[in-house]
Amino acid sequence: MPKYFLIGNWKSQGSTEEIHKFLSTIIRLSLPEHVRPVLCPPFVYLDLVKKRLPIGYSLGAQTCGIETKGAFTGEITASMLQDIGCGYVLIGHAERKESLEVLEQQMERAWEANLVPIFCLGEEAPSAWYSLAKKISYLSSLPASAPFYIAYEPIWAIGGKTPPSCGYLTQAFQYLKSHLKFTQGFIYGGGVRPENLKEILDLNIFNGILIGQASFQHAIWTMLLEILEIHGKVQSKTTLR
């Protein structure tokens, strides 16, 4: 069974004490064999998380700079992230409101540093596919050898209590897949919570999920892992039949 991503984007939250508590809790949890968890803490806590990262977990950054090195006060380069232990980097989260030109440069820097980019994109309003045109044009022009994942996050659903329906997600996935054939996989984010995760998993169209602030709550993280474990066992039994 292929690995299923469980990505936690902590955004701008956390403290040394809270992170120690979170990691002390999740290190005791059972990790399903088919799940690949990736934690994306704020820059200042990357090293702390790396030193206590549970076995089977990967480290990701929430963004990266567009320069390689030099006189750029406050910038964090992709090579620095790789050096500290990151394997993945989120590119273009809607909350950052970066231009496509900047995103293209970030992708290049990530590849140069041997980081795997997770490129975020999503429509600004339901069915507003036209708002994705420029990003899709760029991504579709990349060579098949360029490693990256797509994190589909409808902007109107981020942080919301009403995520898209399963029918809408299927439609969106079909649209993206018809335009983006060379990505390594599609990850979904936007209103994901334990209550609707099973429905999303049952669609069998995504290679993972991206959770926002809620991923820093160890109780929710525990529930997500439990749901993924049950789903994996069901999938295995179905495959063996």
Question: Two tokens at 141?
Answer: 């022009």
Average pLDDT over residues 191-208: 93
**240 within some domain:** no
- Find the catalytic residue in 67, 93, 124, 229: 93
Residue 229 lies in a domain: no
Q: What domain range includes position 66?
A: 4-222
Interatomic CA distance for residues 91 and 106, integer angstroms? 7
Pick the catalytic residue: 18, 20, 153, 231?
A: 153
Residues in the chain: 241
Asked if 46 contacts 81 with a C-beta cutoff of 8 angstroms, the reply is yes
236 lies in a domain?
A: no
Residue 211 has pLDDT above 90, yes or no: yes
pLDDT at 162 over 60: yes
Active site residue 153: yes
Q: Does residue 238 fall inside a structural domain?
A: no
- The alpha carbon torsion through 68, 72, 73, 76 (nearest 10 deg) reads -20
Let me know if residue 68 belongs to a domain.
Answer: yes
CATH number at residue 107: 3.20.20.70
Residues 200 and 28 sit within 8 Å (Cβ to Cβ) = no
Measured from the Cβ of residue 85, the count of other Cβ atoms closer than 10 Å reads 14
Q: Which helix (H) or strand (E) holds 58?
A: strand 58-61
Q: Does residue 230 lie in a domain region?
A: no
Q: Give 61's strand partners.
A: 89
Task: Indicate the angle between helix axes 166-179 and 133-140, nearest 10 degrees.
Answer: 50
Query: What is the pLDDT at residue 234?
Result: 75
| Interval 129-138: pLDDT, tens | 899 999 999 9
Average pLDDT, whole number, for the chain?
A: 93
Residue 166 one-letter amino acid: C
Does residue 125 belong to any structural domain of this protein?
A: yes
Whether 116 shows a pLDDT value over 60: the answer reads yes
Distance separating alpha carbons of residues 131 and 101, to the nearest angstrom: 16
| Residue 22 covered by a domain | yes
Asked if residue 111 has pLDDT above 90, the reply is yes
Tokens 């600004």 sit at which residue?
Answer: 124
* Cα–Cα–Cα angle for 183, 8, 105, rounded to 5 degrees: 45
Mark whether 218 is an active-site residue.
no
What total of structural domains would you count in the chain? 1
